[in-house]
Structure 1
């Protein structure tokens, strides 16, 4: 495990056409007031959810489940490990695990709140309950915090009933905001009744949907040292690269069928820093103004902010860029795979150097 701090910053500029990918309580696209003007906003929670769904699609064994049905999942794990057990015996063991771990189960047999848990944790908990008549709270705590899935190691977990089971997330995802001011627009729609065409003079249904278009600045970071500790040192580099890839390629799917607005990043910058993560959103505190697109001007602002930040923080260990660049920032990569390979090589070297140092000491 690396002893030195190492932070991975991910900066993305991405255009999104007419869309409503993340709604507020009124059904309107979420917004933010920044720099004195209204911006499009996509919450970090919705983007993390989109990333977790991609983790599940890419690797079922390394993705957790966030659910209230953890007792039911443990019952299934116990049944798989010991098919001869009766339902009553399984229920007694599940009750023993959760009561000893100080996690309340409702009358419906659920946890009181959503709980993120990995498949590995469920298997270990089931085996421990089978092997031990008397359960130990400290051992259960270790099992609830060990064998962390990729998403659990990244995003953490809060257990209100027993804070000892909390997992501090190693990743941070910012709310995405537009680099420019947006003006909300409205789509007026009507729906016709195919079975009763005579009723269509006034339309069978009508309404409006609010939407906007934007060029988003998206930012996320990863504390690689914390991530290594959470994941247990296993495949930390590949896990970090998966995090970068899924952040780049995921997108919340609100109103996706209506707008088909799945786009890809226009520009990506990934930076490895030894001192502190740096969100460069201040590049857009003064909103970009343009009548012929926002991407080029936004890239110029972002790269200038990257240079300006060097007045306050150490020079990055490494920076890689994909997309049309306006300055001399980092190593230009032809595509995302090239970027991941370059970042992975630096991470592997950092881990190897630290391991060599540990062995020498």
Structure 2
């Protein structure tokens, strides 16, 4: 089986473009990964997600281990066949979801014991079990098991959390073993403390991974604090490996992260927002349920080529959202995912052509203009 590989193709400042090569296809970077929590991107067919330009999806270890179970998915041919997605899949380790189960979990050196939020059944998630689940799923990119450090956290709390994650990272590496064609990413922790981030990066380099994630951000710290960490954290990680910022984010978060050297991101925002009537455009975010759209025959964005913009008016989209018709979630999610993938395509082109700073300024200026004038 071909090996996992990463090539950098161009740089503009800290921003970089590249290509991750996997047996299931190439991933163009910077890349945005739509989130398919329970083996589906909500309101989307897999073919439709591919049509937006996505090269890779994210699946959720915690949710899939509980339902329908990793063992069942394995018996049915693996996650790719199960959900009809032939391209690469990255799975998270389950750590973030388990850590959020306040009152339902107990953390020890071994791992995390927790009760299912579905039926109260008892489970144990450890580095070894997380690696086993992700192997059963057939993930192309596997994430090491870690503790997502909460925010805010004092330095001692952040240090203890980071050091536990580094011990779990080594166990994850050992349990993952040698799997040609599959990659294991380590996760940098350390909160907002540069010294802890540096110590985490050093430990991860020592263990050795195929890629490196920046964890513990997008957990309520705000954009200014997040960018403050990203001003130095990506530089601590190997230049010749992909850098993945977990759980990000809004369009301006993505642009700012790319400017600071990030290669991969994921977020539920485009799909979740589509279901709640929030629509992303080059002029910012609009709310389709607002009354201003009910008589508007124009598309969401006249320059957009997604099905929602090609064939439907704001008035229609306003109507089906208000009527709680399923087509509303389908069309608005498609539009948002298309917007995100077009954003990534524009970013890659700007970096490759050495004009990323000018493009970035134009991106912010256009968003500042706001939506088109009301008819």
TM-score, structure 1 normalization: 0.30
User: RCO higher in 1 or 2 (8 Å CA, sep ≥ 6)?
Assistant: 1
